């Protein structure tokens, strides 16, 4: 099950493309051998200097990302699990590269407790020093996307070959239940995987960065985004019920916490940017 998360979960970041002129965001796949663990590489960059600093909003997706700017690769970071949306002030010129690990996979690669990274961005040098050194010394603003992908693929494949994976079936059975039910689960009743609730909580906190309940909430939110909603479909089809929300007010509160703005404003501004 540990290698099947990708088949059940599609974490998306819909906010960037419409955020500003002269800012582009693209995702590209890693080597196929890394795809069960790494959802994508991504690049967020300016096509020309902006008139003012850029505010980058990240919606909650339960993933852990490594982030660095090609213009200054020595400044590299790891972004842990956030239970709410995040906003980061950037300069008016940048070229950020990201590595988005699927849930549980960053701790598996590097034997790091995800809970210690939750709700914060840490210098990668304090968490995985050897990877920070590699990024600092091997990347520059002159490199193409293909060159970046090849460098990341080769290095991460070498790390994967050395990693000690703990494929605890009890943890991944719980994750599978949550993903297959699109986050609409009763954590106390539905996650009976053969261990106590306390043990399961410890596993989720170590490998995800938060509780099964919080993870379920994020999965439900992401399922709603993946439904490619529009304002019209939200009104007509009551998509918040389909996504497992009790009522509209409950849905709006969760959406604002996880996305940063109301669903009406988000869908008006960004619906065309959701995946086909």
The per-residue pLDDT for 229 is 72
Q: Hey, how many other C-beta atoms are within 10 angstroms of the C-beta on 165?
A: 14
Residues 25 and 127 in one domain: yes
The per-residue pLDDT for 275 is 40
Angle between helix 169-180 and helix 212-226 axes, rounded to 10 deg: 40
The per-residue pLDDT for 46 is 93
* Residues with pLDDT less than 70, the chain: 1-3, 16-20, 231-240, 242-243, 269-276
Residues 147 and 184 in one domain: no
Work out whether strand 72-79 and strand 121-123 pair parallel, antiparallel, or are unpaired.
antiparallel
Residues 257 and 132 in one domain: no
Domain tally, the chain: 2
Average pLDDT of the chain to the nearest whole number: 88
The per-residue pLDDT for 276 is 37
- For residue 100, what are the CA distances in angstroms to 46, 65, 145, 212? 20, 4, 16, 20
Residues 115 and 7 in one domain: yes
Residues 156 and 243 in one domain: no
Domain boundary among 162, 189, 205: 162
Residues 173 and 144 in one domain: no
The per-residue pLDDT for 159 is 96
Which residues are CB-neighbours of 65 under 8 A, at least 6 positions away?
Answer: 78, 79, 98, 99, 100, 101
Residues 158 and 173 in one domain: no
Residues 173 and 158 in one domain: no
Residues 207 and 248 in one domain: yes
Residues 157 and 174 in one domain: no
For residue 54, the enclosing domain spans: 2-162
Residues 19 and 91 in one domain: yes
The per-residue pLDDT for 98 is 97
- pLDDT tens digits, 183-222: 988 888 888 888 888 999 999 999 999 999 999 999 999 9
Domain boundary among 139, 162, 185: 162
The per-residue pLDDT for 166 is 78
Query: CATH no. for residue 210?
Result: 1.10.10.60
- For 54, phi then psi, to 5°, come to -105, 135
Residues 150 and 258 in one domain: no
Domain boundary among 138, 162, 186: 162
């Amino acid at each position: 099950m540990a290698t099947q998360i990708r088949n059940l979960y599609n974490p998306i970041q819909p906010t960037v493309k419409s955020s500003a002129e002269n800012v582009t965001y693209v995702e590209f796949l890693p080597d196929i051998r890394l795809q069960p663990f790494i959802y994508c590489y991504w690049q967020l960059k300016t096509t020309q200097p902006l008139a003012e600093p850029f505010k980058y909003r990240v919606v909650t997706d339960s993933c852990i990302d490594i982030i660095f700017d090609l213009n200054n690769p020595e400044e590299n970071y790891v972004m842990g699990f956030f239970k709410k949306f995040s906003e980061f002030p950037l300069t008016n010129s940048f070229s950020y590269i990201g590595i988005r690990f699927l849930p549980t996979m960053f701790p598996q690669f590097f034997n790091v407790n995800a809970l210690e990274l939750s709700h914060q961005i840490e210098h990668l040098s304090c968490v995985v020093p050897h990877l920070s050194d590699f990024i600092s010394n091997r990347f520059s603003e002159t490199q193409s996307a293909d060159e970046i992908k090849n460098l990341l693929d080769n290095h991460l494949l070498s790390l994967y070959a050395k990693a000690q994976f703990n494929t605890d079936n009890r943890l991944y059975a719980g994750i599978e239940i949550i993903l297959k039910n699109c986050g609409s689960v009763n954590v106390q009743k539905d996650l009976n995987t053969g261990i106590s609730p306390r043990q399961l909580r410890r596993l989720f906190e170590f490998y995800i960065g938060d509780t099964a309940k919080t993870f379920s909430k994020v999965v439900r939110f992401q399922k709603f985004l993946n439904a490619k909603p529009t304002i019209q479909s939200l009104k007509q089809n009551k998509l918040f019920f389909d996504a497992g929300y009790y009522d509209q007010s409950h849905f709006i509160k969760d959406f604002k916490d996880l996305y940063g703005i109301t669903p009406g404003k988000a869908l008006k501004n960004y619906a065309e940017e959701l995946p086909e």
